[in-house]
């Protein structure tokens, strides 16, 4: 039976936030397709055969869209193996969501190692535009809504990287440009380069931001606000460390015990677990799970601006529903914020 999205998916208009000074509205929670959309058996749920793996991926995208999550975030190297997440999401977009393409924001990125040789990574015009063409092929799309420089290149002139993003938009292969993991100083610099050269400016920055990773508060959020960029925080739950999963040790079905190179058992330190336990007690007092509190904490208003959207990962549809429910209690008292700061110190 063909998929039909929930008629109530847009009932909560406050779920959408303007992305910087652009015309684009993004949901407060976006779905990242990093770890759980690749080859069979590579996901946290250990779906070892193609049929069950694909069915779970479909259910996650459908559940997200039913809740009003219109933004699906990808990159050329997502999987594993690299490229397989775009291939899987592309198949679902083509077979099940084609009728709703204009309701969706699909993003991709380039900058990390994707193929051998000197042109397979970083920020050259050659790499970015070749990678975008590959991504469009895997996604079966004529354009992506946002195309990112995935990381700053220490060797390629930033004028070249920004020119490549400008070309992607002017060629109609992307509607908007974005940057990821650039420092505050680099963000200000590339915005100035775009203004000076009349390039299309990035409208969004994607930094790593969570209770355990607060570097955006030291100037980046202010730089984005000043230059009119929205922000999308990736890893707001620290690969599961800011959920209840690791409070009693490392479960066998966790990411730390999987093939992931991004969360290893060595990163699940006693200090972090102790902080998570204290935060979990505070979340209980708020009537939330730790994951829910960690998400709305990232989205809280700050003196230098506000994160536009938090990018979640999920291994099953139920996690998406739980994360969206966090927004029912998104406010913090001053006392709660002080307690959180004290725990994190």
For the chain, give the secondary structure using H, E and C. CCCCCCCCCCCCHHHEEECCCCCCEEECEEEECCCCCCCCCCCCCCCCCHHHHHHHHHHHHHHHHHCCCCEEECCCCCCCCCCHHHHHHHHHHHHCCHHHHHHCEEEEEECCCCCCCCCCCCCCHHHHHHHHHHHHHHHCCCCEEEEEECCCCCCCCHHHHHHHHHHHHHCCCEEEEEEECCCHHHHHHHHHHHHHHCCCCCCEEECECECCECHHHCCHHHHHHHHCCEEEEECCCHHHCCCHHHCCCCCCCCHHHCCCCCCCHHHCCHHHHHHHHHHHHHHHHCCCCHHHHHHHHHCCEECCEECCEEEECCCCHHHHHHHHHHHHHCCCCHHHHHHHHHHHC
The total number of structural domains in the chain stands at 1
What six digits make up the tokens of 114?
């994707």
| Beta carbons of 69 and 105 less than 8 angstroms apart | no
Peptide bond into 81 cis (omega under 30): yes
Q: Quick check: is 272 in a domain?
A: no
pLDDT recorded at residue 250: 63
Residues 2/96, Cβ–Cβ less than 8 Å: yes
Phi first, then psi: give them for residue 30, nearest 5 degrees: -115, 155
Closest to 316 (Cα-Cα) out of 34, 8, 9, 43:
43
Structural domain for 92, as ranges: 25-241+303-330
Task: For residues 59 and 317, give the distance between their C-alpha atoms in angstroms, rounded to a whole number.
Answer: 6
In a domain, 277, yes or no: no
Task: Write down the pLDDT at residue 268.
Answer: 81
Ranges of residues in the chain with a pLDDT under 70 are 249-264
Q: Which two tokens stand for residue 44?
A: 């946290």
| Distance between CA atoms of residues 54 and 49, nearest Å | 9
Angle at 278 between CA 273 and CA 280, to 5 degrees: 90
Indicate the pTM of the whole model.
Answer: 0.94
CB-based contacts of 304: which residues, under 8 Å, 6+ apart? 217, 221, 222, 225
In a domain, 326, yes or no: yes
Across-strand partners of 168? none
Strand partners, 302: 305
Q: Is residue 285 part of a domain?
A: no
First and final C-alpha spacing in the chain: 52
Residue 46 CA, distance from chain mean position: 22
pLDDT at residue 246, as a whole number: 84
With contact defined as beta carbons under 8 Å apart, do 26 and 203 qualify? no
Per-residue model confidence (pLDDT) at position 260: 52
253 in a structural domain: no
| pLDDT on residue 77 | 97
Distance CA 92, CA 61 (A): 9
69: tokens are: 């999550």
Residue 282 lies in a domain: no
Q: Give domain status of residue 227, yes or no.
A: yes
The reported pLDDT for the residue numbered 255 is 52
**Structural Rg of the chain based on CA atoms:** 19
In a domain, 339, yes or no: no
| pLDDT score, position 244 | 87
Q: What confidence score (pLDDT) does residue 97 get?
A: 98
| CATH number of domain containing 80 | 3.20.20.100
């Amino acid at each position: 039976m063909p998929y039909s999205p929930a008629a109530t998916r847009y009932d909560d208009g406050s779920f959408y936030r303007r992305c910087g000074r652009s015309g684009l509205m993004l949901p407060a929670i976006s779905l990242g397709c990093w770890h759980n959309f690749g080859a069979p058996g590579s996901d946290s749920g250990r779906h070892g055969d193609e049929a069950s793996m694909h069915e779970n991926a479909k259910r996650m995208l459908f559940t997200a869209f039913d809740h009003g999550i219109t933004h699906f975030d990808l990159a050329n190297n997502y999987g594993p193996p690299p490229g397989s997440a775009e291939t899987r999401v592309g198949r679902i977009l083509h077979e099940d969501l084609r009728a709703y393409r204009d309701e969706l924001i699909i993003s991709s990125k380039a900058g990390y190692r994707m193929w051998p040789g000197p042109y397979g990574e970083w920020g050259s015009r050659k790499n970015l535009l070749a990678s975008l063409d590959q991504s469009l092929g895997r996604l079966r799309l004529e354009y992506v809504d946002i195309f990112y420089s995935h990381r700053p290149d220490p060797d390629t002139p930033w004028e070249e990287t920004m020119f490549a993003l400008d070309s992607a938009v002017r060629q109609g292969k992307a509607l908007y440009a974005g940057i990821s993991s650039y420092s505050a100083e680099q963000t200000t610099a590339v915005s100035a380069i775009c203004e000076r050269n009349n390039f299309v400016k990035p409208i969004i920055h994607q930094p790593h931001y969570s209770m355990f990773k607060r570097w955006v508060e030291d100037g980046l959020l202010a730089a984005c606000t000043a230059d009119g960029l929205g922000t999308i925080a990736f890893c707001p739950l620290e690969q599961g460390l800011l959920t209840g999963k690791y409070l009693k040790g490392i479960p066998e079905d966790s990411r730390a015990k999987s093939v992931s190179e991004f969360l290893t058992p060595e990163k699940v330190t006693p200090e972090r677990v102790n902080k998570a336990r204290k935060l979990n007690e505070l979340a209980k007092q708020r009537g939330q799970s730790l994951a829910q509190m960690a998400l709305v904490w990232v989205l809280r208003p700050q003196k230098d601006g506000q994160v536009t959207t938090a990018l979640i990962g999920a291994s099953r549809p139920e996690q998406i529903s739980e994360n969206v429910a966090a927004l029912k209690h998104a406010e913090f008292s001053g006392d709660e914020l002080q307690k959180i700061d004290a725990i994190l110190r």
